[in-house]
């Protein structure tokens, strides 16, 4: 069998994989990125990057190519929920004060070009079949392209191959050590914006009767993405009666209907209910998992691509400095994983709380109302990751919202106090987990919900190698297996 020796093999050439490849290649390492797709290639996604994520495109040299596609630049976030309406300007990051929403087939092709421009080799239409092991260390992959099967030997194997990660299964990390079921489904479609050039310079959120609908100006200018994060039980109804369910969604929210009801050139609808949130063990001897392969949270947070780009880049930077010293490399990968978890825990729990597809309660609406009247970055900082969510929605703000809810005419005070008894343990648990519980904690947090599933992994093919076993190793004690969640 043909064998090549390189420095790093990255499996997956989308956000996390290309972002990891760039700093490694810039450091002079030979990097090969493998993907079974041929680009341009589409994938399920919220598509949106707020300024904190857009800056990552600049870091990897992709922003010029992305802006050449002509996306709308949205400098504001708006939210409409009943009689609550707020509008905030996004915080600036490295001179970037706008969000963009680019279809993934176009965006990811630009990312692949950026990785190649940095010096990485991207091989499309190549399927990875196994991780190769030697002395319990990942030392490469066996893969197949149109010309047949071959091996790539490397100091580091990175799995950036998404939720259904073959690499996660191969390294014994398929089953998350903590996870949570999502009560929401995800449906989206593109359409021509009925407001045309008069469309708001904003990412818009419309909430009503359990629906959370995002209206996201896209590209080319005048095209808009509409995402409905609705009760997961409604998704099969969308699949049976697309237009009927779409009309019912608009009828549930008059403000949304006024905004997009006159849209033309409405595209096909795509949907999924495969949205369980999780953390997988994401580093080990000679391997790492980046992007959705290692961690996923509810897309309602709009942070998936940002985290894939940022922590793909940081993974590449960490590995580049220690690539040929196995002990130092493994320590750097572990430190990278711990930093990723510390940065993402707040939004992980925020997403878990938002998975409840119920109408906005009086208490939550009054908390939202505390943001009204100030267009400086406040609530938008949660999407922009300028501050942890619990710092934005602080105890003082929660208290103000509680007082307003209790004082409102006709308030059902017993229902409000019952809700507080549910929400308060979540607030305490989130802070405890982030500040006290520690790295790879398995201690249950009340935002998490049992009943999650990720399906079965793609099983490795039994085989042998002259230099060592290619079977996936046993997971480390305590690293996998279903995690009880409350």
Q: pLDDT: is 192 or 459 the higher one?
A: 192
Determine how many CB atoms are found less than 10 A away from the CB of residue 474.
Answer: 10
Q: Give me the pLDDT at residue 485, please.
A: 28
Predicted confidence (pLDDT) at residue 475 exceeds the cutoff of 60: no
Decide if domain 184-272 falls under CATH 3.40.50.10860.
Answer: no
pLDDT on residue 479: 34
pLDDT, position 463:
42
Q: How confident is the model at residue 221 (pLDDT cuts 50, 70, 90)?
A: confident
Residue 366 has pLDDT above 80, yes or no: yes
Whether the CB-CB separation of 71 and 218 falls below 8 Å is answered with yes
Give me the mean pLDDT over the 3-32 stretch. 98
Domain limits of the chain? 1-47+104-181+275-353+448-486, 184-272, 362-437
Residue 222 binned pLDDT confidence (cut-offs 50, 70, 90): confident
CA 259 to chain CA centroid, Å, is 27
Check residue 7 and give its pLDDT: 98
Annotate 165-195 with DSSP letters as a single string. Answer: -HHHHHTT--S-SEEE---EEEEEEEEE-TT
Say which CATH topology domain 1-47+104-181+275-353+448-486 has: FAD/NAD(P)-binding domain (3.50.50)
Alpha helices in 231-320, H assignment, sequence order: 235-240, 242-252, 254-260, 304-320
CA separation for the pair 211, 343 (Å, rounded): 28
Asked if pLDDT for residue 14 goes beyond 70, the answer is yes
459 — pLDDT class (breaks 50, 70, 90): low
pLDDT digits (tens, 9 = 90+) for 197-213: 888 999 999 999 999 99
Q: Check: CB of residue 387 under 8 Å from CB of residue 104.
A: no
pLDDT at 468 over 70: no
Q: Give the model confidence (pLDDT) of 290-326 as tens digits.
A: 999 999 999 989 899 999 999 999 999 999 999 999 9
pLDDT band at 460 (very low <50, low <70, confident <90, very high): low
Indicate the helix (H) or strand (E) that contains 227.
strand 223-231
Taking each helix axis from N to C end, the angle separating 304-320 and 15-26, rounded to the nearest 10 degrees, works out to 30
Predicted TM-score (pTM) above 0.85: yes
Residue closest to 49 by CA, chosen among 37, 57, 41, 61: 57
Range list of H helices, 227-293:
235-240, 242-252, 254-260
Encode pLDDT of 392-426 as tens digits.
999 999 999 999 999 999 999 999 999 999 999 99
Give the pLDDT confidence of 96-152 residue by residue, as tens digits. Answer: 999 999 999 999 999 999 999 999 999 999 999 999 999 999 999 999 999 999 999
Q: How many Å is the Cα radius of gyration of the chain?
A: 23
């Amino acid at each position: 069998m043909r064998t090549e020796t390189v420095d790093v093999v990255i499996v997956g050439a989308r956000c996390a994989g290309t972002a990891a490849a760039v700093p490694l290649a810039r450091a002079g390492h030979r990097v090969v990125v493998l993907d079974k797709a041929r680009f341009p290639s589409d994938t399920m996604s919220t598509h949106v990057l707020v300024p904190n994520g857009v800056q990552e495109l600049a870091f990897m040299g992709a922003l010029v190519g992305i802006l050449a596609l002509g996306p709308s630049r949205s400098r504001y976030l708006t939210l409409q929920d009943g009689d609550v309406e707020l509008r905030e300007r996004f915080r600036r990051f490295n001179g970037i004060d706008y969000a963009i929403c680019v279809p993934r087939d176009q965006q990811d092709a630009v990312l692949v070009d950026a990785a190649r421009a940095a010096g990485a080799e991207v091989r499309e239409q190549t399927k990875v079949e196994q991780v190769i092991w030697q002395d319990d260390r990942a030392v490469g992959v066996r893969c197949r392209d149109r010309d047949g099967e071959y091996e790539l030997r490397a100091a580091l194997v990175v799995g950036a191959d998404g939720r259904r990660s073959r690499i996660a299964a191969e390294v014994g990390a398929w089953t998350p050590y903590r996870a949570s079921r999502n009560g929401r489904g995800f449906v989206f479609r593109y359409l021509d914006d009925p407001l045309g050039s008069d469309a708001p310079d904003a990412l818009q959120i419309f909430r009503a009767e359990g629906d959370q609908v995002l209206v996201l100006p896209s590209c080319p200018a005048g095209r808009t993405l509409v995402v409905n994060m609705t009760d997961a039980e409604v998704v099969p109804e969308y699949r049976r009666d697309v237009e009927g369910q779409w009309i019912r969604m608009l009828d549930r929210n008059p403000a949304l209907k006024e905004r997009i009801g006159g849209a033309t050139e409405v595209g096909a609808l795509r949907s999924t209910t495969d949205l369980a949130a999780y953390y997988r063990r994401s580093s080990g001897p000679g391997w790492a998992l980046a992007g959705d392969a290692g961690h996923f949270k509810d897309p309602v947070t709009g942070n998936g691509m940002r985290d894939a780009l940022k922590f793909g880049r940081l993974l590449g930077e960490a590995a580049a400095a220690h690539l040929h010293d196995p002990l130092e490399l493994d320590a750097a990968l572990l430190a990278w994983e711990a930093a990723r978890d510390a940065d993402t825990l707040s939004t992980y729990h925020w997403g878990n709380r938002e998975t409840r597809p119920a109408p906005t309660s009086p208490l939550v609406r009054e908390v939202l109302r505390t943001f009204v009247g100030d267009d400086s970055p406040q609530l938008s900082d949660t999407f922009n990751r300028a501050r942890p969510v619990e710092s934005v929605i602080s105890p003082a703000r929660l208290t103000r919202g509680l007082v307003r809810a209790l004082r409102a005419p006709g308030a059902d005070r017993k229902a409000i106090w019952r809700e507080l008894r549910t929400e308060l343990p979540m607030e305490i648990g989130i802070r405890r987990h982030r500040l006290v519980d520690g790295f790879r904690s398995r201690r249950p947090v009340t935002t998490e919900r049992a009943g999650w599933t990720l399906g079965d992994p793609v099983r490795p093919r039994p085989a042998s190698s002259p230099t060592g076993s290619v079977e996936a190793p046993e997971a480390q004690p305590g690293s996998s297996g279903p995690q009880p969640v409350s």
